[in-house]
Amino acid sequence: MPEEVHVRQYKASDYQKLEVLYKKKETYGGEFSEHRDSKAVIDRITSKDPYAVLVAELDGEIVGTISLIENERVAWLYRFCVIDDVNKDKVAEALCEKAEDLLTRRGHGQVLVYSDPNNSKLNERYKKLGFDKGGNYVCFWKDLG
């Protein structure tokens, strides 16, 4: 019998597993920044919106995550990570479907996601999930303070 992917809202007790996912480069979306991904930041975000960070579980183990960043104008998927040693497509699809459902119910008609234009596996994931490719933009950033 195939394993069922369970997508649920993040709980504070998930943080250590979430941090491990963020730090794994092979998760095709994994990245970690203390400024954006510390426990204090994640807890603050999820206290305002309990569905801002979702996790995917297989057999009780966290195998993926996705975060929602939104305001009235735009919705983004962020930190869309899936570990490499599970059915990545199935986990990514379950996370994406849950995020899209939440965003649709919140009134959004479109969702955006960043991708490295040189990462063919990540770009293929988004194509399989039904995303249209936009232009290749360069993201600029600056540390504050």
Q: Where are the domains of the chain?
A: 6-128
Residue that is written with structure tokens 């057999």 in the block: 59
Q: What is the mean pLDDT of the chain?
A: 92
Question: What is the reported pTM?
Answer: 0.92
Q: Residue 48: is it exposed, middle or buried by C-beta count within 10 angstroms (0-12/13-18/19+)?
A: exposed
Q: What is the dotted CATH code of the domain comprising 6-128? A: 3.40.630.30
From residue 131, give the alpha-carbon distance in Å to each of 123, 124, 134, 139.
9, 10, 9, 19
Q: Are 9 and 67 in contact (CB under 8 A)?
A: no
Q: Return d(Cα 72, Cα 84) in angstroms, integer.
A: 34
36 has pLDDT over 80: yes
Confidence class of residue 143 from pLDDT cuts 50, 70 and 90?
A: confident
